[in-house]
Amino acid sequence: MTKKKKILKIRDLDISFKTDNGEVKAVRGVDLDLHEGETIAIVGESGSGKSVTTKAVMGILASNGVINKGSIEFTYTDLSKERIAEVTQKYDGVIPEGYAKEEEIKTVDITQQSKKFIQSEIRGRRIAMVFQDPMTSLDPTMTIGKQVMEAMLFHYKIPKKEAYARAVQLLELVGITDAEKRMKNYPHQLSGGMRQRIVIAIALSCDPEILICDEPTTALDVTIQAKILELIKDIQKKKNLSVIYITHDLGVVAKVADFVNVMYAGRIIEKGSVNEIFYGPRHPYTWGLLASLPDVDTAGDELYTIPGTPPNLLKEIKGDAFAPRNPFALKIDEKIAPPMFEITPTHHVASWLAAPNAPKVEMPQDLKARIEKNRKEANW
Amino acid sequence: MDKSTIKYILKRLLIAAATLFVIVFVLFMILKLMPGTPFNDEKLTEAQKAAIYAAYGLDKPELEQFYIYITNMLKGDFGISYAIQRNMSVAGLVAPRIGISFSLGIGATLIGTIIGILLGIAAALNRNTIWDSIATIFAVIGVSIPSFVFCLLLLIAFGVKWPVLPVLYNASDPIRSSIIPMVALSMGVIANVARFTRSEMIEVLGSEYIQLAEAKGISYKHLILHHAIRNCLIPMITVLGPIIVGLMTGSMVIEKICGIPGLGSLLVKAIEVRDYNVILAVSFLYSVMYIVVMLVIDILYGIIDPRIRLGKGDRS
């Protein structure tokens, strides 16, 4: 694997929300990397901070959200209007390798940029987002065409006719038949699957470099889920997109991701390639997540659940946030939060169990057997 | 308009006709039960009264009277006034007052909705700030204080203290005479509309489609103007209907205070003197207005909101 360009680099990101009950520490020191053309997944339960992290990247944190510290470095290609026109026409929106001159490649720290800059230069234009529920995420009173054209007209100031033609192309790209007719439709005239395709078309309308998919398939039927994931994968290949999936569905992760980041209570507690996470998980929380996946063989048995509940983020968390729910917790877990230990250059885990002098703890037997079986099936 | 829209409107009109018939019937019978008569002159002897009753056909059985009234009404004849302007046709009595009441009501609705919407949007956009609180306090005051109190305050202020506007309605200067009653009437509308707009706007702003639109990177102004306001105004139409009708019928007290020769003051007077035909005609007019406004609003709603565009929008 050749060294790919790093496109997004988040370091020590710390975000909190001021509420009437106090300060909610939603994200507590997150490091995240995304390379060009790569798909990463952020996995975690509700409230683990996965959505908040990506919202900070988009600059759409709720008004009571504050970035206390940390950086979000984004590297992008800044082309002039003429150069963009050339790229869109000649290369179908994909900037070919070596096309951009050195002075056209820029790196900014999103946390340091003005609202205006993020809105006009980054959000929707270079980093776009696919939302969770297609039934509610399209404006019910605006035609599909207008909604797809809106971002292009805004960011590239192209003539309406051109935007219209591009919108029709986009709809065809995301697999909508009768694209011309659909342009005049309103959201309620389309099915859920179609609406999610429209949402994807909107996200792609400005040829972004990063696509953030926030639970893109949770609200859809299983059969349509697979199709939508295929579609995103396809487009990713065509457009050389970098994709961030936010999900709690490990099935989706296994299907699409190159790298996985497991989040718990505002922190990434394990990260690694998809194989490392699925076949060699090291954090007890990741074990719990994997064990709670339904499996054909476990049919009839009770589904495993991780005991306890996530910590209250209003309170200061001392030591390892997962320790109270962790049957393997060590004494030190109650006092000091574990740092990231390196397992392999790509696989890191924040658990004292991974410390060199920690007692040897094996993952539960059931899970081990299951992983072994899956590994054989996948032939890894 | 396509077939199903026309069918829908026809259906609504039929229902409206039936409703009106029931209203007139009930009103007619209630009036007959009301104590007192239009001919309350103490100098009249029983025999004279009976003669007058016979002359106006009021001695016949109630159902027959109703039949005569309805058949005449269908011909456009609303009968004559018994007391207010004896023997003058009700139509002639009511007609010149319609315009006065309507322009008052429409003016108050316009002022009220425009200011109310602006206040509501301002409050929602500046949620939990001093502007929001001011708008909320204003709305509570507007809802809880009756419009005639405002009217009296305005009259004291601008009619007596600084006499810039006429205190009583002056037929030769209808515009300036209408300002105080119009503003007084619009207070309740402002309050209602502002409260509704605020809560609707807050809901819209929290919706996912606003998040998606925001994620497109469009400007805040564009977001509010093209996505938020439109979506918050659609449900607005439904509350406007009752408000409009309420203004037209609810202006009775204001008309009385300011001496406006409108429908409201006519109705009050007609009830005082038991002028049956006038009461019936004005009430009938109010009912017709109510039904027409509601129908127009339903049709308008369908035109503005694509989700319930009648007959169109086949889901596929």
- Token readout for B260 is 């406006």
* Cα–Cα distance, B74 to B63 (Å, whole number): 16
B138 confidence band (pLDDT: 50, 70, 90): confident
ipTM exceeding 0.90, yes/no: no
Average pLDDT over residues B213-220: 93
How confident is the model over A322-326, as a mean pLDDT? 89
CATH number at B129 reads 1.10.3720.10
pLDDT classification of A241: cutoffs 50, 70, 90: very high
Task: Please report the pLDDT score of residue A257 as a whole number.
Answer: 94
**Which residue of chain A comes nearest to B232, CA vs CA?**
A141
Q: In terms of domains, do A30 and A142 share one?
A: yes
Residue A143's contacts (CB-CB under 8 Å, 6 or more residues apart) are: A183, A184, A185, A186
Q: Quick: pLDDT tens for B240-252.
A: 877 887 777 667 8
Asked whether residue B172 is assigned to any structural domain, the reply reads: yes
pLDDT value, residue B249: 66
Q: In the predicted model, what is the mean pLDDT of chain A?
A: 90
Range A159-174 average pLDDT: 94
Confidence band for A231, pLDDT divided at 50, 70 and 90? very high
Is residue B82 predicted with pLDDT exceeding 80?
A: yes
Interchain pair B208, A131: CB under 8 A: yes
Point out the least confidently predicted range of A277-281, A304-308, A341-345, B154-158: A304-308
Judge whether residue B45 has pLDDT over 90.
no
Identify the domain containing residue A316 by its residue range. Answer: 264-378
Give the span between the Cα atoms of A339 and A352, in whole angstroms. 8
Task: Inform me whether the pLDDT recorded for B26 exceeds 70.
Answer: yes
Q: Are strands A259-264 and A267-273 parallel, antiparallel or unpaired?
A: antiparallel
Non-local CB neighbours of B187 within 8 Å, separated by 6+ positions? B112, B142, B145, B147, B150
Q: Rounded mean pLDDT of B120-134?
A: 90
- Inspect the interface and report whether the beta carbons of A140 and B306 lie closer than 8 Å: yes
Per-residue pLDDT band for A56 (boundaries 50, 70, 90) equals very high
Neighbouring C-beta atoms of residue B256, cutoff 10 Å: 15
**B9 and B299 Cβ atoms separated by less than 8 Å:** yes
Last residue of one domain, picked from the residues A203, A231, A257? A257
Q: A26 and A148 in one domain? A: yes
pLDDT surpassing 80 at residue A3: no
Which B residues, 199 through 218, put their C-beta within 8 Å of a C-beta on chain A? 207-209, 211-218
Q: Give CA torsion, residues B78, B82, B88, B94, to 10 deg.
A: -50
Q: What is the mean pLDDT of residues B27-41?
A: 82
Distance CA A290, CA B79 (A): 85
Residue B235's pLDDT is 84
The position carrying tokens 């005569």 is B68
Q: Does A353 share its domain with A211?
A: no
**What's the CA gap between A197 and A134, in Å, rounded?**
9
Per-residue pLDDT at A323 exceeds 60: yes
Given an 8 Å threshold on Cβ–Cβ distance, is B216 in contact with A151? yes
Q: Which residue among A218, A241, A257 closes a domain?
A: A257
Chain B environment of A124 (Cβ under 8 Å)? 215-218
Planar angle of CA A98, A103, A106, nearest 5 degrees: 90
pLDDT band at B2 (very low <50, low <70, confident <90, very high): low
- Collect all residues of chain B within an 8 Å Cβ-Cβ radius of residue A128: 215-216
Instruction: Provide the pLDDT for residue A70.
Output: 95
pLDDT above 70 as % of chain B: 96
Higher pLDDT among residues B243 and A244, named by residue: A244
For tokens 């209630």, the residue is B30
Report the number of distinct structural domains present in chain B.
Answer: 1
Indicate if the pLDDT at residue B316 is higher than 60: no
Q: What is the pLDDT of residue A33?
A: 94
Answer yes or no: are the C-beta atoms of A44 and A306 closer than 8 Å: no
For residue A153, being part of any structural domain is answered with yes
Range of the domain at B155: 94-270
Regarding whether A181 and A49 lie in a shared domain, the answer is: yes
Q: What is the mean pLDDT of chain B?
A: 86
Task: Tell me what pLDDT residue A1 has.
Answer: 46
Residue A33 belongs to a domain:
yes
| Residue A312 φ/ψ, nearest 5 degrees | -75, 115
A223 and A84 in a single domain? The answer is yes
In this structure, the answer to whether residues A176 and A194 fall within a common structural domain is: yes
pLDDT band for B312, please (50, 70, 90 cuts). Answer: very low
Contact (Cβ atoms closer than 8 angstroms) between residue B109 and residue B243: yes
B217–A129 C-beta distance less than 8 A: no
- Range with top average pLDDT, A193-207, A366-380, B130-144: A193-207
Q: Is the pLDDT of residue B95 over 80?
A: yes
Supply A268's token pair: 């990434």
Does B129 map to a domain?
yes
User: Residue A2: pLDDT above 60?
Assistant: no
> Domain for residue B255, yes or no?
yes
Domain match, A69 and A182 both: yes
Q: What is the pLDDT of residue A204?
A: 93
Whether the CB-CB separation of B179 and B220 falls below 8 Å is answered with no
Q: Do A303 and A232 belong to one domain?
A: no
Distances A256 to A36, A41, A346, A368 between C-alpha atoms, Å? 15, 8, 18, 23
Kindly report the CATH number assigned to the domain that includes residue A341. Answer: 3.40.50.300
Q: What are the residues whose beta carbons fall under 8 Å from the beta carbon of A257, sequence distance 6 or more?
A: A39, A40, A41, A245, A274
H-helix or E-strand spanning residue B85: none
Token pair 């709305």: residue: B139
From A61, A63, A5, select the one nearest A33 (Cα to Cα). A5
* Shortest alpha-carbon distance between residue B11 and chain A (Å): 26
Residue A357 has pLDDT above 90, yes or no: no
Has residue B140 got a pLDDT over 80?
A: yes
Q: From its phi and psi, is residue B57 left (phi > 0), alpha (psi between -120 and 50) or beta?
A: left
Residue after which a domain boundary falls, among A257, A290, A310: A257
Q: Which residues contact A251 (CB under 8 A, 6 or more apart)?
A: A293
Please indicate whether, in this complex, the C-beta atoms of B214 and A154 are within 8 angstroms of each other. Answer: no
Q: What is the pLDDT of residue A284?
A: 92
The Cα B20–Cα B287 span in angstroms is 7
Confidence (pLDDT) at B315: 42
Residue scoring higher pLDDT (A190 or B172): A190
Q: Which among A122, A154, A189 has the least Cβ separation from residue B218?
A: A154
Judge whether B43 lies within some domain: no
Q: What is the mean pLDDT of residues A74-84?
A: 88
Instruction: Note whether A303 and A249 are same-domain residues.
Output: no
A77, A211: one domain: yes
The beta-carbon neighbor of A139 closest among B217, B231, B316 is B231
Is pLDDT above 60 for A314?
yes
Which pLDDT belongs to residue B314?
Answer: 43
pLDDT of residue A297: 64
User: Which of chain B's residues have a Cβ under 8 Å away from the Cβ of A122?
Assistant: 217
At B128 the pLDDT is 84
Residues 2-21 of B with CB under 8 A from A: none
Count: domains in chain A: 2
Sheet strands (E) in chain A: 6-19, 22-35, 39-43, 65-77, 105-109, 127-130, 210-214, 242-247, 259-264, 267-273, 341-342, 348-349
Q: A236 pLDDT exceeds 70?
A: yes
Q: What is the mean pLDDT of residues A118-126?
A: 94
Residue A1 within any structural domain of the chain: no
Q: Counting Cβ atoms within 10 Å, is residue A101 exposed (0-12), middle (13-18) or buried (19+)?
A: exposed
Q: Does residue A6 register a pLDDT over 50?
A: yes
